[in-house]
Structure 1
Amino acid sequence: MNRALALALTGLAGAAGWYLCLDISAAAEREMPAARWLWYGGHVAAAAPVLLIAPIQFMAGIRGARPAVHRWLGRVYLGLSLVAGVMAVALGLTMEAQGTELPLVMFGLLWIGFSALAWLAARKRDWTAHRQFTIRSFAIATSFVLLHLLQAGEAVLFGWLDWPELRYATRGWLSLVLPLLAAEAYLSWWPAARRVFAKR
């Protein structure tokens, strides 16, 4: 494992732990029904490990040398993503803050959909589609980390918005849309742009 990859994995591990601690701390300060605690805790517990598993899945060395490990981790990733996605949909449908329900529900549905499509593509041995949908699934998984980053910088980024509800909604939509844009830019826009500007 090279140094850059080791640093990236360490950073993702730190981000997962940071997210987990922040969410538990924030949730402890709020009064929530027992059922909502179940959705919330299940989502956090399932989502955080995905950040650690996904980078390992993208390592060509492990895929080639230890395919059984790749397949086993892929099943774990799929299961955790499906659980976290279902919990996110349940949370979105019961959100108290108006304006954040729809992006959270869409986040959960897209996570479920991309993860399922990645699995189906692997079953059909369509490795190109499998890789593309796994990248999209991982991009969606990073949304919850981006959400907390935006929340931490809310005073600077969204201080010009007077209504707290509008700031919450803006943060929710940006945390959903920006990772999707990044994934599509990597998968299609940037390769297409390189072809357009390539010297002939």
Structure 2
Amino acid sequence: MTWLRKPWVGPLAFVVVAFVAFSLPPYLTGDRLQARVQSDWGPHFPLLVVHVVCASIAIITCVVQIWPWFRGRFPVWHRRIGRVYVFAGVLPAGLSGLVIGWMTPFGPVAQVSNVLLAVLWLAFTGLAWRAARRRQFRDHRKWMIRSFVLTVSIITNRIWGAVAFLLLADRVPEAELPHTIAGIATWTGWTIPLLLSQWWLERKPRRRAAVEQREAISVS
């Protein structure tokens, strides 16, 4: 089966579905006490619900969007799901993320990271959408990869948060621990994957150019 040629699709889909199944339900109850992030600011909970629900839509649809087999087999559905990803996922999730990121209870380090992440997420997705509309599909793919990385960065955020807790729980005063962990996790959660994706995007053209140069030399 051709779709099996991309062995990362299955594990990625499993991780994303498991993460959404764990993270989303508390925000569908209407009970602010079940939210995993608590704040005294009144609008925080409804905005957080919008952010979590729409980000869940984004993270699920983006897995389908980057699946090469699906893109090639169902181009019409790829475009339709792309609209859902942008307008029902990233756009409302990013805008609500800007506000709750600014009002985060975890201090200024996490605040700057959350706001910058939301801005870049919206920008990368908008540039991917514009490139697709202009039929600049090579640019669309690059911007979409960056958008995808920021979409799934919430998962790596949690991983770095767990690592930071294990390393710092006995070294940082208890009162400072939540802000410290949040500051580390929010920055490493998206900057490291984004830098790696940029390295990968730049490496592929260099490898292709090197192969073409070797082929030209062998022919001559």
Please give the TM-score of this superposition, normalised by the length of structure 1. 0.85
Indicate the residue corresponding to 2:184 in structure 1.
170
Indicate the residue corresponding to 1:128 in structure 2.
138
Q: Which one of the candidate residues 174, 183, 186 is aligned to 2:197?
A: 183
The aligned runs of 1:2-151 (5 Å cut-off) are 2=4, 4=7, 5-21=9-25, 27=35, 30=38, 32-79=40-87, 80-98=89-107, 99-151=109-161
The one-letter code of the counterpart of 2:188 is L
Check conservation: 1:114, 1:136, Cα contact below 8 A.
Answer: yes
Task: Tell me: CA distance 1:161–1:118, structure 2 relative to 1, closer, same or farther (3 Å).
Answer: farther
Among the aligned pairs, what percent are the same residue? 24
The one-letter code of the counterpart of 2:90 is S
Q: Which has the higher contact order (CA 8 A, sep 6+)?
A: 1
d(CA) in 2 for partners of 1:134, 1:77: 11
Matched position secondary structure for 1:95: coil
Q: Which blocks of at least 5 consecutive residues in structure 2 are unaligned? A: 215-220
* Greater Rg by CA: 2
Check conservation: 1:20, 1:48, Cα contact below 8 A.
Answer: yes
d(CA) in 2 for partners of 1:102, 1:69: 36
Deviation at 1:55, TM superposition (A): 2.1
Check conservation: 1:150, 1:157, Cα contact below 8 A.
Answer: no
Check conservation: 1:19, 1:148, Cα contact below 8 A.
Answer: no
**RMSD value over aligned CA atoms?**
2.7
Check conservation: 1:139, 1:180, Cα contact below 8 A.
Answer: yes
Deviation at 1:119, TM superposition (A): 0.4
Q: Which blocks of at least 5 consecutive residues in structure 1 are unaligned? A: none
Give a deviation string over 1:132-170, Cα, whole Å, max 9, x none.
111100100112111222223333244476242333212
What is the aligned length?
199
